[in-house]
């Protein structure tokens, strides 16, 4: 009887411990300041300061530096190299004003972006997880506060690495990444993607933890990320990027997951903006493009620092600028959405690509099921969209996946063609958990799933299993608890137009 009691209490203890462990793994960091989308759009000093401290009270030196820099940026034309910004960073012991941010992942390396507060030489030690390889790199900053990149290019394919950044022997940052496989052979590749951080989600440790737990090789960000409708105010745009870079959750994401980013309207001049809006100039657009390029770590082959294509193993990423090339005076005409040069570039990239799968991003939706295509392809360039889809069908280009953003919430659709083929579009626009259109379209006959945006912090994920003709991809929608909300498996055959 005594043994039975011992077993009972031992079993009870194990059960309680198991329940506690399971709970602790999904326990949420509570929010301190609930910021609405309207408030994020306003972006006042008090609102942005609350965003910085929305889940935790940030250290006093970080808050002090942000406030000092914000006062400088309020003058509009000042930037990170301003002597007052640099002085505050140094006085508040801020070694990195931004970064590290990983990007441009390759089979032999990665690019590391950062913004130092001084011109002391930066050393980076890169070490393979198994300890078999260790390489050292160094960069002498040209100016404090300027954006810098170190390209790591002599590593081994399909290998996990850790890196450590230091100045004068003092470690200032660290992170990890995995190089891609060679552009052939069997492999599994996991990519995360989403849109609509709207500054709010950048500070959500629960969402960032859920992304990191999935261990994506890279992540695609489809717009409405770090700034919110600052028009042509370069100072406030830079204060938004500083707000991003001082966020601890963002630092964990950017230091450990290579990022590929393209803008949408709120990163651009403002809501529903495109081309050169009324009362602005081409010079204003050029300044915004330059600022964007300075604050992201996209591949070097970007056009005007914006649209680009790149390979991650056997997957080709094609990220489009669906904002700055619009022609407002010819809305609805062919070429008025991407501009004729980008339209041709896209067709050429698709025809030349030898990748097994191709992901094509659009800032706003490819389909017109939600809000009747408001501000997207159906309004701006039906002929241009048709040309792209026909190009894929006519040339029997395999493995094309369409992704989009802008519409808050999370939805999936098929786009049927008269040939009997259908495209698949996935739109997880819930990185910021903000309200938006209805979850389900009025005509839901081609809808795979739908969720409202309000309170839904979620991201999309593609997991590619590459095995020749048996290759397949699985889409998952995952929330900030790490729960899989939706799952759709597609074979390469389903994503290949037939004769």
| Number of compact structural domains in the chain | 2
pLDDT value for 39: 96
pLDDT value for 26: 59
Q: Are residues 429 and 442 in the same domain?
A: yes
Q: Are residues 139 and 210 in the same domain?
A: no
Q: Which two tokens stand for residue 374?
A: 């408001």
Q: Are residues 162 and 193 in the same domain?
A: no
Q: Please report the sign of the dihedral spanned by the C-alpha atoms of residue 268, residue 271, residue 274, residue 279.
A: negative
Q: Of 54, 379, 400, 324, which is closest to residue 197 (Cα–Cα)?
A: 54
328 domain residue, yes or no: yes
Report how far residue 297's alpha carbon sits from residue 299's, in angstroms, rounded to the nearest whole number.
7
Looking from the CA of 299 toward its CB, the CA atoms found within 13 Å total 18
Q: Are residues 221 and 301 in the same domain?
A: yes
Q: Are residues 150 and 220 in the same domain?
A: no
Q: Are residues 344 and 253 in the same domain?
A: yes
188 domain residue, yes or no: yes
Q: Are residues 419 and 291 in the same domain?
A: yes
Q: Are residues 153 and 207 in the same domain?
A: no
122 domain residue, yes or no: yes
pLDDT value for 19: 35
Report how far residue 434's alpha carbon sits from residue 429's, in angstroms, rounded to the nearest whole number.
9
* Local confidence pLDDT in tens for the 499 residues of the chain: 333 444 333 333 333 333 333 333 457 999 999 999 999 999 999 999 999 999 999 999 999 999 999 999 998 777 899 999 999 999 999 999 999 999 999 999 999 999 999 999 999 999 999 888 999 999 999 999 999 999 999 999 999 999 999 999 999 999 999 999 986 657 899 999 999 999 999 999 999 999 999 999 999 999 999 998 899 999 999 999 999 999 999 999 999 999 999 999 999 999 999 999 999 999 999 999 999 999 999 999 999 889 999 999 999 999 999 999 999 888 999 999 999 999 999 999 999 999 999 999 999 999 999 988 889 999 999 999 999 999 999 999 999 999 999 999 999 999 999 999 999 999 999 999 999 999 999 999 999 999 999 999 999 999 999 988 789 999 999 999 999 999 999 999 999 998 6
Q: Are residues 200 and 131 in the same domain?
A: no
Last residue of a domain, one of 179, 213, 237: 179
Last residue of a domain, one of 153, 179, 205: 179
pLDDT value for 8: 38
38 domain residue, yes or no: no
Q: Of 373, 349, 371, which is closest to residue 360 (Cα–Cα)?
A: 349
154 domain residue, yes or no: yes
Q: Are residues 443 and 363 in the same domain?
A: yes
pLDDT value for 374: 87
The b/e string for 359-398 (b: 16+ C-beta within 10 A; e otherwise) is bbbbbbbbbbbbbebebbbbbbbbebbebbbebbbeeebb
Q: Are residues 154 and 297 in the same domain?
A: no
244 phi and psi angles, rounded to 5 deg:
-60, -50
Report how far residue 427's alpha carbon sits from residue 367's, in angstroms, rounded to the nearest whole number.
10
483 domain residue, yes or no: yes
Last residue of a domain, one of 179, 200, 216: 179
Q: Are residues 194 and 109 in the same domain?
A: no
- The residue segments making up the domain with residue 127 are 96-179
CATH code for the domain in which residue 329 is found: 3.60.21.70
CATH code for the domain in which residue 155 is found: 2.60.40.380
């Amino acid at each position: 009887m005594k043994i039975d009691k011992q077993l009972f209490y031992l079993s009870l203890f194990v059960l309680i411990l198991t329940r506690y462990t399971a709970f602790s793994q999904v326990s949420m960091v509570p929010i301190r300041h609930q910021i609405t989308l309207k408030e994020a759009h306003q972006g006042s000093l008090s609102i942005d300061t609350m965003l910085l401290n929305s889940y935790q009270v940030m250290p006093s030196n970080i808050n002090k530096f942000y406030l000092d820099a914000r006062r400088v940026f309020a003058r509009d034309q000042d930037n990170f190299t301003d002597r007052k910004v640099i002085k505050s960073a140094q006085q508040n012991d801020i070694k990195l004003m931004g970064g590290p941010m990983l990007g441009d992942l390759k089979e032999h390396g990665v690019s590391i972006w950062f913004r130092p507060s001084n011109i002391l030489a930066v050393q980076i030690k890169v070490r393979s997880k198994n300890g078999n390889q260790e390489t050292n790199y160094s960069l002498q900053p040209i100016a404090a506060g300027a954006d810098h990149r170190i390209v790591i290019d002599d590593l081994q394919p399909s290998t996990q690495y850790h890196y450590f950044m230091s100045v004068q022997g003092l470690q200032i940052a660290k992170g990890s990444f995995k190089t891609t496989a060679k552009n052939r052979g069997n492999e599994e590749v996991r990519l995360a993607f989403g849109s609509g951080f709207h500054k709010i989600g950048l500070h959500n440790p629960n969402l960032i933890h859920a992304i990191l737990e999935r261990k994506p090789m890279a992540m695609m960000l489809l717009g409405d990320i770090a700034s919110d409708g600052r028009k042509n105010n370069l100072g406030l745009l830079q204060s938004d990027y500083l707000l991003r870079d001082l966020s601890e959750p963002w630092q964990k994401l950017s230091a450990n997951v290579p990022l590929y980013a393209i803008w949408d309207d709120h990163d651009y001049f403002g809501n529903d903006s495109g081309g050169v809006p009324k009362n602005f100039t081409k010079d204003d657009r050029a300044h915004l493009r330059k600022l964007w390029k300075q604050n992201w770590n996209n591949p070097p082959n970007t056009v005007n620092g914006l649209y680009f294509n790149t390979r991650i193993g056997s997957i080709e990423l094609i990220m489009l600028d669906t904002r700055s090339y619009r022609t407002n005076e010819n809305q609805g005409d062919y070429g008025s959405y991407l501009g004729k040069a980008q339209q041709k570039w896209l067709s050429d990239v698709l025809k030349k690509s030898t990748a097994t799968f191709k992901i094509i991003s659009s800032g706003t939706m490819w389909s017109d099921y939600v809000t009747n295509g408001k501000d997207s392809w159906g309004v701006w360039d039906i002929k241009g969209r048709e040309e792209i889809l026909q190009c894929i069908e006519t040339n029997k280009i395999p493995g094309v996946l369409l992704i989009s953003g802008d519409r808050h919430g999370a939805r999936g659709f098929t786009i049927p063609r008269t040939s009997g083929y259908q495209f698949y579009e996935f739109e997880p626009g819930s990185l910021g958990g903000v309200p938006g259109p209805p979850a389900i379209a009025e005509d839901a006959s081609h809808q795979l799933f739908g969720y409202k945006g309000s309170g839904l912090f979620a991201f999309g994920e593609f997991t590619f299993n590459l095995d020749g003709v048996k290759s397949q991809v699985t889409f998952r929608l995952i929330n900030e608890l790490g729960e899989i909300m939706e799952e759709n498996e597609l074979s390469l055959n389903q994503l290949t137009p037939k004769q």
